[in-house]
Structure 1
Amino acid sequence: MLADQQILRIPGPSPIPPSVQRAMSQPMIGHRGLETKELLQQIKPELKTVFGTKQDILLIAGSGTAGLEAAVVNTVSSGDEVLVIVTGAFGDRFAKICNEYKTNVHRIDTAWGEAVNPDVIKDYLKSHSGIKAVFATYCETSTGVLNPVDEIAKIVHTYSDALFIVDGVSCVGGVKTKMDDWGIDILVTGSQKAMMLPAGLTFLAVSQRAWKTIEENKQSRFYLDLKKYRDNLAKDSTPFTPALSLLFGLKQVLKLMQEEGLEEVYKRHQLMKEMTRSAFRALQIPLLTNDTAASPTVTAIKPGDFRAEDLRRLLKKDFNLSVAGGQQHMKGEIFRIGHMGYCSPADVLQVISIIEIGIKKAGGNIELGKGTRAAQEIYLG
């Protein structure tokens, strides 16, 4: 094993393209100068395409959780009724944020590994007319589930006057996203997942409908006040010091996406998902999610005859390959493979081949090469 060779296949942070690393190493510039103004002018239109919106995308120096909290604190106040759809650890995080601001939290919980049934939301909204905002997770990173946010949005707007607010942190940039067409009111993502940047930048897109609510909301906020970001972005500026190195990198990320073409980006992620899932099926190792609910950016596996943590330890020790473990009650029960952003089918083949060795060493009863071959056949097919 080479000490400097890191194989990072967790669902974020994800690897950084070399050209993006070079872009981020540019000399620092004045954040109130003409260069930063021009940088924001170049970034703004390309980001809209990734989100599928005509709205400007707000840029906040902070993690994805800062974006989730901003979505809460700007739209609801203490005592407001909100509905949080919880399909894993990050849906639960949305609920915890709402609880911190003393809202009246209603929850729809699903079994981990399952996507939410939109009909359950419809029935809930029909019997709870006071819901002011519905919070959902597009890709639930902890389980590898992709929720049908397009269907949920239709239901929210048909059966309530609530805002529909979506955590897209682990999938925007890697899966089809049509914020305006679907009717999402606020969409949040972070820099360190499919957006191929280090952690430290959060993005929010806000509908005109949501802006009306934000303008009327009396909840106190300062750094996370989205009106400040909107008003400054209109002047190609930011209300507070921006993460300039990440903005340099973001410009290059958007160039890479444009050159590949967003539809091709989505096809690549779909292919990597199918290769990964086919490999573990061939090895007869259970997947946590079914095909319909599976995310193109992360796959969760629930082994039976070997321990997930033993596998993770062996992969790290022998190959410096990092895959993620489970969270909360799934800790030690599953492992998760990230295939998002700067990741290709070649990377998937490498990872599957290495994991097969790790499974053997961890005591799993598999035939070496069977998973790799299955992934190869998906690629060729």
Structure 2
Amino acid sequence: MDDKLMLMIPGPTPVPEQALLALAKHPIGHRSKEFEGTIAEVTENLKWLHQTQHDVVMLAGSGTAAMEAAIINFLSAGDRVVVGCNGKFGDRWAEVAEAYNLNVERITAEWGQPLDPEQFREKLEADTNKDIKAAIVTHSETSTGVLNDLETINRHVKAHGKALILVDAVTSLGALSVPMDEWGIDAIASGSQKGYMVPPGLGFVAVGPKAWEAYKTATLPKYYLDLAKYKKATDKSSSPFTPPINLIFALQATLQMMRREGLDAIFARHARQMEATRAAVRALGLKLFAPDDAAALSITAVESSDAEQIRAIVKKQFDISLAGGQNQLKGKVFRIGHLGFVSDRDILTAISAIEVALREIGAENFAPGAGVAAAAKVFAES
């Protein structure tokens, strides 16, 4: 059946009808008073989502653009930075930092395992000369479904006294609490096609006062991604360059939806769906890639040598998209996204389709309906 595609990947995520209708509106002038009102409302709601009184700016770009902006606005060539690498995106931020001639020191963990906060503590405490200028951390590693202990790592960075913490919250913001002001996070980057429930094309950078202070002495080249330009414009409910007007209309709609639902309810929904998905995977006799105590609320990675065959059957028979493995995990895992505009019904539907795929490839180590039953039990008890 045409037009029944169901996205169960960690981005792009499903887009609600209200946002789709907003995308279809006729554009208006981006320097008009009407659009200033839209930016003012969106900015206020972005601050609410980030749990901050500080600046949150919008860029026309992806989450990678937002992270690159966070790196180049507050650092200078030769600066010593510590980067957490336990997946594709931690590796990416190390590569971006190296591209700008930063002195990168990696703290690594095996893909599928969380970063060890103690390694950050040891490295930061050993830096008695205070040469480390920043720690760069991926909160929720999209490639593996692993959640890193940002709160503890951030506490060690704060104890250092001088280093900034720059955070990739691309698949954590909007799924679990990232309280910027309470934790004193210096910069947070995210992207529209994840928990924001909007198509790709917008990046967001939340910036705290310590990062702005570092901006004054940062010397890396920047123009389009110069965050001071965005702050100056945002303070006037405007934008420094032509923004994607209709994406911002869609964002206005989804942020209104999120405010109606409330932060606590959003976080509880994602936690419930994560637990239900993991319970279902176990009941189907499959192995979870991330450990229980470091499981992302937005993605569940599942180990299987038949990963690509399972994905193909689910897509062909049910028009449901599951994500594959990345880099060395290609063909070894598939990933179920439960982020943003995803309901309990969607989880049950996806699990049913996966069970059919398993039956088709000859898996027999589970009782019929076991996955759905396990997920339904979580929903009933939540």
Do structure 1's residue 81 and structure 2's residue 77 form an aligned pair? no
C-alpha separation in 2, matches of 1:42 and 1:166: 25
Partners of 1:125 and 1:160 within 8 A in 2: no
- Give the match for residue 167 of structure 1: 168
Written as runs of structure 1 = structure 2, the 5 A alignment for 1:44-193 is 44-128=43-127, 129-193=130-194
Deviates more, 1:249-258 or 1:362-371: 362-371
C-alpha separation in 2, matches of 1:141 and 1:314: 23
Deviation by residue 1:315-345 (Cα, 9 ceiling, x = unmatched): 1111111100111111111000000100011
Alpha-carbon distance, 1:364 to partner:
2.2
Do structure 1's residue 297 and structure 2's residue 332 form an aligned pair? no
Partners of 1:189 and 1:202 within 8 A in 2: yes
The AA in structure 2 aligned to 1:116 is L
The AA in structure 2 aligned to 1:374 is A
- Give the match for residue 371 of structure 1: 371
Written as runs of structure 1 = structure 2, the 5 A alignment for 1:246-285 is 246-285=247-286
Do structure 1's residue 206 and structure 2's residue 220 form an aligned pair? no
Partners of 1:115 and 1:146 within 8 A in 2: yes
Counterpart of 2:339 in 1: which secondary structure? Answer: coil
C-alpha separation in 2, matches of 1:219 and 1:4: 46
Do structure 1's residue 341 and structure 2's residue 343 form an aligned pair? no
- Give the match for residue 360 of structure 2: 361
Counterpart of 1:153 in 2: which secondary structure? Answer: helix
The AA in structure 1 aligned to 2:206 is A
Counterpart of 2:165 in 1: which secondary structure? Answer: strand
Alpha-carbon distance, 1:159 to partner:
2.6
C-alpha separation in 1, matches of 2:236 and 2:261: 30
Alpha-carbon distance, 1:99 to partner:
0.8
Alpha-carbon distance, 1:314 to partner:
1.1
Alpha-carbon distance, 1:361 to partner:
1.2
Partners of 1:140 and 1:146 within 8 A in 2: yes
The AA in structure 2 aligned to 1:134 is A
- Give the match for residue 380 of structure 1: 380
C-alpha separation in 1, matches of 2:363 and 2:42: 48
Alpha-carbon distance, 1:284 to partner:
2.1
Partners of 1:150 and 1:183 within 8 A in 2: no
Partners of 2:77 and 2:219 within 8 A in 1: no
* CA root-mean-square deviation: 1.0
Counterpart of 2:216 in 1: which secondary structure? Answer: helix
Counterpart of 1:57 in 2: which secondary structure? Answer: strand
Alpha-carbon distance, 1:262 to partner:
1.2
The AA in structure 2 aligned to 1:27 is H
After TM superposition, the runs of 4+ consecutive aligned structure 1 residues lying more than 4 A away are none
Written as runs of structure 1 = structure 2, the 5 A alignment for 1:311-326 is 311-326=310-325
C-alpha separation in 2, matches of 1:315 and 1:192: 22
Deviates more, 1:63-72 or 1:354-363: 354-363
Do structure 1's residue 225 and structure 2's residue 261 form an aligned pair? no
Counterpart of 1:173 in 2: which secondary structure? Answer: coil
Deviation by residue 1:110-146 (Cα, 9 ceiling, x = unmatched): 0111111211110111223421010000110000011
Alpha-carbon distance, 1:160 to partner:
4.5
Partners of 1:167 and 1:187 within 8 A in 2: yes
- Give the match for residue 25 of structure 2: 26
Partners of 1:77 and 1:217 within 8 A in 2: yes
Alpha-carbon distance, 1:208 to partner:
0.4
The AA in structure 1 aligned to 2:167 is V
C-alpha separation in 2, matches of 1:362 and 1:238: 53
C-alpha separation in 2, matches of 1:7 and 1:34: 38
TM-score (norm 2): 0.97
C-alpha separation in 2, matches of 1:58 and 1:362: 48
Counterpart of 1:301 in 2: which secondary structure? Answer: strand
Do structure 1's residue 237 and structure 2's residue 238 form an aligned pair? yes
Counterpart of 2:240 in 1: which secondary structure? Answer: coil
The AA in structure 1 aligned to 2:375 is A
Counterpart of 2:239 in 1: which secondary structure? Answer: coil
TM-score (norm 1): 0.97
The AA in structure 1 aligned to 2:241 is F
Deviation by residue 1:270-294 (Cα, 9 ceiling, x = unmatched): 0000000000111221101111100
Partners of 2:82 and 2:107 within 8 A in 1: yes
Counterpart of 1:126 in 2: which secondary structure? Answer: helix
Alpha-carbon distance, 1:3 to partner:
2.3
Counterpart of 2:82 in 1: which secondary structure? Answer: strand
Counterpart of 2:292 in 1: which secondary structure? Answer: coil
Partners of 2:87 and 2:144 within 8 A in 1: yes
C-alpha separation in 2, matches of 1:215 and 1:25: 41
C-alpha separation in 1, matches of 2:321 and 2:18: 23
